[in-house]
A and B are shown apart, each in its own frame.
Chain A
Amino acid sequence: MFSPARAWREFPQRYRLEAARCTECGKVLYPPRLICPECGGRDFATEVLPRDGTVVTYTVIRVPPAGFTEQTPLPIALVELVNGVRLMVQIADVADPESLEIGMPVRLEFRRVSWDGEAGVIFYGHKAVRATG
């Protein structure tokens, strides 16, 4: 479970999908990093990620860690967004895990990611849902 302070530090990337574009080589990093793994650059511009993508691969967790037990089964996917950036996210609104498939078009929606019991803080972020229309 995150601390409220750690969650707060990550609000820009978790709430608004703010990535870092390396001003040297143009690589887009999500989550943002201090040093570009591509060129070693240390100068970045903020870039908001698109919310549409496809599932590259996925797994379904049946025994999730603390903070996620109410969301069992918990599908986790590697999603490639339309700009090529890949991120690891939960898949939400899955009636039947058997219906998930590689290549499935998804859209990122704002959801509760986890919560610290009944009395603790609620952590928000994005999850992938099957895209329609």
Chain B
Amino acid sequence: MTVGIVGYGAFIPRRRIKLEEIAKVWGADAPAYKRGLQLFEKSVPGADEDTVTMSVEASRNALARSGGVDPALIGALYIGSESHPYAVKPSGTIVAEAIGAVPALHVADLEFACKAGTESLFIAQALVKAGEVEYAIGIGADTSQGAPGDALEYSAAAGAAAFIFGRDPGRLLAEVVDTYSWTTDTPDFWRREYMHYPRHGSRFTGEPAYFRHSMSSARGMMEKAGLEPKDFAHAIFHQPNGKFPKRVGKMLGFTDAQLETGWLSPWLGNTYSGASPVGFTAVLDIASPGDLVLLTSFGSGAGSDSFVFRVTDRINEVRDLAPRTRPQLDENKIYLEYGAYAKLRGKIRMAE
């Protein structure tokens, strides 16, 4: 049975802060950071935006491209995030209620650092493939936080992507060709309960964590599917900064042309659970029927999910039925100074 994506959508907040604006507060060398991390600016959620609000808008965009999928037929909804608004109380119920998918559905909030988004995609497509549900929606969304002055503060950003999976041949816009995951216990990044900010192993987050898992997952995926880098039109990797996704792509044998479209982090930052999924929406916005696409996420802790998708003819009919991703990133931006940014991100201690 062929299972695939029947609708996709992204949401990126309008607010941005430039790398220089953060660097000047902490006395950091902005040009060196820009060169080293290949980051220029990042998205910032407003006081009224969170993982739930972005997930609702991304899901509505996915429904708009679904060819009229009845939300009541969505049998499962999963949101991967490390910034669920409540510690106890699901995000998914709010999203399901808002898109009209309640009450006959299964809902779960997932968490696995930056990989939680592709976990939701993996489970959603598997349930459809098993015949358990007609449609399932997988969402990756985050309003991630970096400690003030930490390297993560230059990258931690906000964004969401949603994908509705189904098996109705008339609705498929991209088929799931195959999937593969690669997971080990690697403590490269964590946040303990009640802590505001995560901690990380600095350079340990590179070779043994990001690169080892991303490379092993992508190679395992291509081997399993009998494919090589040259077979793909596009490849998207997790984007903790601007440098890593390009470097891992090159190490695997992909070219700039294959990596360019899904590479959003220099202007978006790291949207954690939303990162590679939002990159994938930018690829679907311009992909051609027949294109093979490799999507490889990475989540600290650590693991990496890979997917091979084959884009269908229907992509040309649906991509303009909702806002495309790149214009959301490039247009209507509101630039913030550090003071307003600190207020919005809850970094200022308020009166009780």
Seen from chain A, the residues whose Cβ lies within 8 Å of a Cβ on chain B are 11, 15-16, 70-71, 90, 92-93, 95, 109-113, 122, 124, 127, 129-130, 132-133
Cβ contact within 8 Å between B46 and A92: yes
The CA of A93 and the CA of B45, in the complex, are separated in Å by: 10
Cβ contact within 8 Å between B331 and A132: yes
| Size class of the B contact interface (CB-based, 8 Å) | 20 to 34
The 9 closest A-B pairs by CB, nearest first: A110-B56, A111-B48, A112-B48, A15-B98, A95-B334, A70-B47, A110-B53, A93-B14, A111-B53
The CA of A1 and the CA of B16, in the complex, are separated in Å by: 31
Question: A4 to chain B: closest CB distance in Å?
Answer: 10
List 29 A-B pairs, Cβ < 8 Å. A11-B97, A15-B94, A15-B97, A16-B97, A16-B98, A16-B100, A70-B343, A71-B47, A71-B48, A90-B48, A92-B48, A93-B14, A93-B15, A93-B334, A95-B334, A109-B53, A111-B46, A111-B49, A111-B53, A112-B48, A112-B50, A122-B50, A122-B86, A124-B52, A127-B48, A130-B332, A132-B331, A132-B332, A133-B327
Given A93-B14, A132-B331, do A112 and B49 touch, yes or no (CB 8 Å)?
Answer: yes
Q: Which residues of A contact B48 (CB under 8 A)?
A: 71, 90, 92, 111-113, 127
Q: Which residues of A contact B327 (CB under 8 A)?
A: 133
The CA of A127 and the CA of B48, in the complex, are separated in Å by: 9
Give the residue among A16, A92, A112 with the most B Cβ atoms within 10 A. A112
Q: Which residues of A contact B15 (CB under 8 A)?
A: 93
Q: Which residues of B contact A132 (CB under 8 A)?
A: 331-332
Q: Which residues of A contact B52 (CB under 8 A)?
A: 110, 122, 124
The CA of A93 and the CA of B57, in the complex, are separated in Å by: 15
Q: Within residues 112 to 147 of chain B, which ones have a CB less than 8 A from any CB in chain A?
A: none
Q: Which residues of A contact B206 (CB under 8 A)?
A: none
Given contact pairs A71-B47, A92-B48, A110-B57, enumerate 13 new A-B contacts (beta carbons under 8 Å): A16-B99, A93-B15, A95-B334, A109-B53, A110-B52, A110-B60, A111-B49, A112-B48, A112-B50, A122-B85, A124-B52, A124-B98, A133-B323
The CA of A92 and the CA of B22, in the complex, are separated in Å by: 24
The CA of A7 and the CA of B56, in the complex, are separated in Å by: 18
The CA of A15 and the CA of B52, in the complex, are separated in Å by: 12
Q: Which residue of B lies closest to A132 (CB)?
A: B332
Q: Which residue of B lies closest to A112 (CB)?
A: B48
The CA of A41 and the CA of B85, in the complex, are separated in Å by: 41
Given A15-B97, A16-B98, A124-B98, do A109 and B57 touch, yes or no (CB 8 Å)?
Answer: yes
Q: Which residue of A lies closest to B60 (CB)?
A: A110
Question: A74 to chain B: closest CB distance in Å?
Answer: 11
Question: B188 to chain A: closest CB distance in Å?
Answer: 30
The CA of A90 and the CA of B327, in the complex, are separated in Å by: 24
Question: B326 to chain A: closest CB distance in Å?
Answer: 13
Question: B307 to chain A: closest CB distance in Å?
Answer: 28
Q: Which residue of A lies closest to B59 (CB)?
A: A110
The CA of A130 and the CA of B84, in the complex, are separated in Å by: 27
Q: Which residue of B lies closest to A129 (CB)?
A: B14
The CA of A8 and the CA of B139, in the complex, are separated in Å by: 24
Q: Which residues of B contact A111 (CB under 8 A)?
A: 46, 48-49, 53
Give the residue among A92, A111, A127 with the most B Cβ atoms within 10 A. A111
Q: Which residues of A contact B331 (CB under 8 A)?
A: 132
The CA of A114 and the CA of B99, in the complex, are separated in Å by: 20
Question: B193 to chain A: closest CB distance in Å?
Answer: 15
Q: Within residues 33 to 72 of chain B, which ones have a CB less than 8 A from any CB in chain A?
A: 46-50, 52-53, 56-57, 60
Question: A104 to chain B: closest CB distance in Å?
Answer: 13
Question: B205 to chain A: closest CB distance in Å?
Answer: 30
The CA of A129 and the CA of B328, in the complex, are separated in Å by: 14
Question: B46 to chain A: closest CB distance in Å?
Answer: 6
Question: B347 to chain A: closest CB distance in Å?
Answer: 13
The CA of A127 and the CA of B94, in the complex, are separated in Å by: 16
The CA of A125 and the CA of B99, in the complex, are separated in Å by: 12
The CA of A8 and the CA of B100, in the complex, are separated in Å by: 15
Q: Which residues of B contact A93 (CB under 8 A)?
A: 14-15, 46, 334
